[in-house]
Structure 1
Amino acid sequence: MQLLKTPLLLASILALGSSALKAEVTLSNIFGDHMVLQREQANPVWGKADAGEQVTVSIGGQSHQTTANKQGLWRVKLDPMEASDQALVLQVSGLKNQVSIADVLVGEVWICSGQSNMQWPLTNTYNGAVEIASANHPQIRLISVPQVGTQEPQDNFNGAWSICSPESVGNFSAVGYLFGSRIHSALGVPVGLIDNAWGGSAAEAWVPQEVLAADGGYAELLNSWDAKVAAYTDEMHAAKVADFQTWQKVGKPAPAQRAPTDFRAGQHRPGNLFNGVLNPTIGYGMRGVIWYQGETNAGRATQYRNLFPLMISTWRDLWQQGDFPFYWVQLADYMAEASEPADSAWAELREAQTMTLALPNTGQAVIIDAGEGRDIHPRDKTTVANRLVRLALANDYGYPIDALSPRYASMQVKDSAIALTFDHVSRQGLCSFDIKQPIGFAIAGEDQIFVKADAKIIGKNKVLVSNVKVSKPVAVRYAWANNPKANLQDRNGLPVTPFRTDEWPGITANSVK
């Protein structure tokens, strides 16, 4: 290495370096060309600059000033704006530079989150080709957050907004797009969709580890992960990768293996997705969240009773938008059809999802009639999206439409039968959708042994259930199976929510990790 001999040259370089250290004002990547801002809301805008630098943010005739804090972070809130399809420019100015975000619309923003059934692309669905060909919606804007799993909270991501078109929509979330396109058609305002779903993800990965630890109910889960991570080294992972590559070089497939991934950065580890996927977007103005997840947690369904509402409440607390709408898809029917009553982890997970309706401003799209026994990924995403849209249109946009599936309300023992009463039944009343006889019911006495039950609709919102072998019934279950044979619905087409009247311990009661 040669030493600099000229003092003047050295001074010049030092001066240049000092100037280069001054950071240019920047925006978080969630803000970009073609984005949609949530209408009628004070939307936060944030980014980085030099500590103490004054930053000016302007759009649509309003202007706001702030000063970057000691960490170089700045944040302002825009005045609420009405929906607009007129392209606006968001300008952010600092001492050294100015950033301009073009083609900004104002409308409705929804986050589309969960695991593979939310991530599932439009191109791989029934009627996907038709949907893609007709997806010329320049007022719908799309952005996908890359899959980054980490224990370190991220403040940015590598992504960009795009204008919805046949060229851009094919690999976007089918449920997200179909939901958003119907919102757009109904309201006639721009719609922004943020897809951050990650296939196979566990709910605990979407919650900060410190929140799980503070709750107190996840010590065994967290300890299990700590032990697993501690026992796995970078060298062990490198050896797995090398072994896989050796099989590839000799032209033979690795035995029953895919390319190895590092579970430490995967979609199951507690906190990983919250840090790497969600955190960079927290605070972005939006209307609400649609969520399709639960398959990965089915084996720990009892735990999900606490975990799922904990996740929702945590998101709401951090977003600082109050109890924003949070609508989810209940698990579909899947696996072999049940021939006899039995315990079911998937039924218990559906029950945990239904229990989460105790949180305010939540809703559940029941799709127990829309699954495919052979595939955990039902290709019919239109039914899924339509039922989510019902919730949003009825609850958030004032449309007088039925949105809730009928739900068990109460029971009354009548001799050797049990009369069930349901809430959220339309004026049209209950019916069976394929054959006259309602099916999918099971009944039990004090012995807790369930048998198939005969069922009869006895009123607009009542069903009578019995079995001659059960003279003193105490409990009823409906659609209580991974893939139940069940056919009770409202005449408006919404299926009855699977349920049980008993509280006997299920098969997932002791599964915590």
Structure 2
Amino acid sequence: MRRFLEIVFCFGILSYMQMATAQITLPPIIGDGMVIQRGIEFPVWGWAKAGQKVQIKPNWQSGITATANHEGRWFVKIAAPPAGGPYELQIKGDNTVIAIRDILCGEVWLACGQSNMEMPLGNISSDNYPGIDNYRQEIAEANYPSIRFFTPAYKKKHMPQTEFDGRWVLCSPESAKYFSAVEYFFGRRLHKELKVPIGLINSSFGGSYIEEWMTKQTLQAYPDCSLPAERSDYPLYDVLIAPLIPYGIRGVILYQGESNATRAYQYNTLFSAMIHSWRKKWSQGDFPFYFVQIAPCGNNRYPPMAAAELRQAQLLTHLAVPNTGMVVTTDLVDDPCAASPDDLHPGNKQDVGKRLALWALAKTYGRDIAYSGPLYRSFKIEGNKIRLCFEHTDGGLIAAGNGLGGFSIAGADKQFADAKAEIDGNTVVVWSEKVQEPNSVRFGWDNVPQPSLFNAAGLPASPFCTNKQ
């Protein structure tokens, strides 16, 4: 009798699954109000009964027919329409007709990271986020129906997901307060400059480690790198990234690193591997990957110099991995000398989003604008001094109002001493009477660095160490 009931139960489950798969289903990201990436063959996919024919009929071109494979998945690519809209897309099967309306075509970007990317435009969670600068006015003015957001819902699972929740939301004063502030300001700048619809996907999670954003296969290649035990149940790649693939995107913006600050020596390797693996999974080539260097924060949050070492790892990632860009934030705290020792969430998210957009406008969209602060390139020893050369000087190097500071210099003993510095054209000359045979220089090597070196475009130099370690 028990065996009979087991057979009946299994047959019922199988019948239910067959009925479920007879209906066409779509991932939530393919739905009303979506923004599709212009200028590409845009992926459209879903599920149906194995072997079922599925007709995909856009109103901007002739239809395409797909066949669900043995697992019930079907997939096609459709040439994206001209930027603008609205467009419609009909998907039809044996027992289902799905009409997707109010589709726009423009630029689509994925944002991810931890709490500084997650931090919303509005003051909706005062225990965690005190609110960004001027948030009331920003929300009141956030009336951009051609900017649309999609936030996949988080579900804790231990394998890559195909099912997830979420919907596209139009940007309005009522909805914008829930959106990522950095992502909003990034998208708003692109929308104003490019004059096309903007789609923004936000897959961020507060307190996350870089390892959580990596595929299991990628992380297994680095056996010395593993998640803290309390985080092992949070496979964020599986639940917040994998379900989005292969949705067409232009690129990625990321704000992450604070949680890895005590393991900066691993970060450069892991971050680079993560970028490469995402690009491989998406099969869209080396798409743009722009990220934010971690902000100044006091020693109560980090061990001494930990944040400086993490910033160096981020700089090395940018210099090594093609088509990446890095935003420096050392000047975006009102008073770095008085920075709260525990405040990981600076309120100025406007300039963070703007600077990410500068990278995109210059490197992705071809605008002739300054987009990066000075980045260390090389050095030359000149007697008891070191001459530093920079990229992205853009009109020349400029010292902050209080003059150049934050430089230190060392010899073979690696004992760094505070140094004097002066600008000489597009170089900086550094020296100290305490070091007569120098071989290395540091700049901004502190958890709360002092922003003293800029280019003429007003963008700050990245902290760095010349020995690249």
Q: After TM superposition, list the pairs within 5 Å mapping 1:252-401 onto structure 2.
A: 263-266=231-234, 272-336=235-299, 344-357=305-318, 358-371=320-333, 373-374=339-340, 375-401=343-369
Change in Cα spacing, 1:18 to 1:43, as seen in structure 2 (3 Å) is closer
List per-residue Cα deviations over 1:72-117 (Å, max 9, x = no partner): 0000101132201x21111110111111111000000011111100
* Residue 430 (structure 1) aligned with residue 429 (structure 2): no
Number of the residue aligned with 2:413: 447
Q: After TM superposition, list the pairs within 5 Å mapping 1:117-136 onto structure 2.
A: 117-123=116-122, 124-136=131-143
Alpha-carbon deviation of 1:464?
1.0
Change in Cα spacing, 1:74 to 1:22, as seen in structure 2 (3 Å) is closer
In the alignment, is the contact (CA less than 8 A) between 1:478 and 1:486 conserved in 2?
Answer: no
Q: Secondary structure at the match of 1:377?
A: coil
Number of the residue aligned with 1:191: 198
Number of the residue aligned with 1:235: none
List per-residue Cα deviations over 1:16-54 (Å, max 9, x = no partner): 989846620111111111110000110101100000000
Alpha-carbon deviation of 1:386?
1.0
Q: Secondary structure at the match of 1:26?
A: coil
Number of the residue aligned with 2:214: 207
Separation in 1, partners of 2:177, 2:18: 45
Number of the residue aligned with 2:154: 147
In the alignment, is the contact (CA less than 8 A) between 2:407 and 2:443 conserved in 1?
Answer: yes
In the alignment, is the contact (CA less than 8 A) between 2:385 and 2:430 conserved in 1?
Answer: yes
Separation in 2, partners of 1:408, 1:194: 33
Q: Secondary structure at the match of 2:49?
A: coil
Identity %: 42
Separation in 2, partners of 1:264, 1:438: 44
Separation in 2, partners of 1:61, 1:333: 51
Separation in 2, partners of 1:336, 1:151: 35
List per-residue Cα deviations over 1:161-208 (Å, max 9, x = no partner): 111100011011000011001100111110000011101111111111
Q: Which blocks of at least 5 consecutive residues in structure 2 are unaligned? A: 1-11, 123-130
Number of the residue aligned with 2:127: none
In the alignment, is the contact (CA less than 8 A) between 1:148 and 1:273 conserved in 2?
Answer: no
Number of the residue aligned with 2:125: none
Separation in 1, partners of 2:17, 2:407: 75
In the alignment, is the contact (CA less than 8 A) between 1:343 and 1:480 conserved in 2?
Answer: no
Q: Secondary structure at the match of 2:176?
A: coil
Query: Which of residues 426, 438, 458 is equivalent to 2:424?
Result: 458
Number of the residue aligned with 2:170: 163
Separation in 2, partners of 1:451, 1:185: 47
Separation in 2, partners of 1:31, 1:18: 22
Number of the residue aligned with 1:490: 455
* Residue 469 (structure 1) aligned with residue 434 (structure 2): yes
Separation in 2, partners of 1:297, 1:503: 18
In the alignment, is the contact (CA less than 8 A) between 2:219 and 2:225 conserved in 1?
Answer: no
How many equivalent pairs are there?
440
Query: Which of residues 170, 180, 184 is equivalent to 1:173?
Result: 180
Number of the residue aligned with 2:9: none
Separation in 2, partners of 1:172, 1:44: 25
Q: Secondary structure at the match of 1:463?
A: strand
Alpha-carbon deviation of 1:497?
1.2
Alpha-carbon deviation of 1:61?
2.8
In the alignment, is the contact (CA less than 8 A) between 2:66 and 2:76 conserved in 1?
Answer: yes
Separation in 1, partners of 2:439, 2:277: 38
Alpha-carbon deviation of 1:502?
2.1
Whose Rg is larger?
1
Q: Which blocks of at least 5 consecutive residues in structure 1 are unaligned? A: 1-12, 229-261, 267-271, 505-513
Change in Cα spacing, 1:387 to 1:21, as seen in structure 2 (3 Å) is closer
Alpha-carbon deviation of 1:317?
0.3
Q: Secondary structure at the match of 2:422?
A: strand
Change in Cα spacing, 1:498 to 1:76, as seen in structure 2 (3 Å) is same
In the alignment, is the contact (CA less than 8 A) between 1:62 and 1:79 conserved in 2?
Answer: no
Q: After TM superposition, list the pairs within 5 Å mapping 1:244-259 onto structure 2.
A: none
In the alignment, is the contact (CA less than 8 A) between 2:451 and 2:461 conserved in 1?
Answer: no
Supply the AA of the counterpart residue of 1:66. A
Change in Cα spacing, 1:455 to 1:166, as seen in structure 2 (3 Å) is same
Change in Cα spacing, 1:336 to 1:204, as seen in structure 2 (3 Å) is closer
Supply the AA of the counterpart residue of 1:299. T
In the alignment, is the contact (CA less than 8 A) between 1:205 and 1:274 conserved in 2?
Answer: yes
Separation in 1, partners of 2:179, 2:468: 40
Number of the residue aligned with 2:381: 413
Supply the AA of the counterpart residue of 1:454. K
Change in Cα spacing, 1:322 to 1:21, as seen in structure 2 (3 Å) is closer
Alpha-carbon deviation of 1:156?
2.1
In the alignment, is the contact (CA less than 8 A) between 1:57 and 1:64 conserved in 2?
Answer: yes
Supply the AA of the counterpart residue of 1:350. R
Supply the AA of the counterpart residue of 1:73. R
In the alignment, is the contact (CA less than 8 A) between 2:121 and 2:180 conserved in 1?
Answer: yes
Change in Cα spacing, 1:61 to 1:503, as seen in structure 2 (3 Å) is closer
Alpha-carbon deviation of 1:419?
1.3
Change in Cα spacing, 1:17 to 1:383, as seen in structure 2 (3 Å) is closer
TM-score, normalising length: structure 2: 0.90
With 182-191 and 145-154 compared, the bigger mean Cα shift is at 145-154
Separation in 2, partners of 1:196, 1:401: 29
Supply the AA of the counterpart residue of 1:292. Y
Separation in 1, partners of 2:443, 2:196: 41
Supply the AA of the counterpart residue of 1:414. E
Supply the AA of the counterpart residue of 1:138. P
In the alignment, is the contact (CA less than 8 A) between 1:149 and 1:275 conserved in 2?
Answer: no
Change in Cα spacing, 1:58 to 1:48, as seen in structure 2 (3 Å) is same
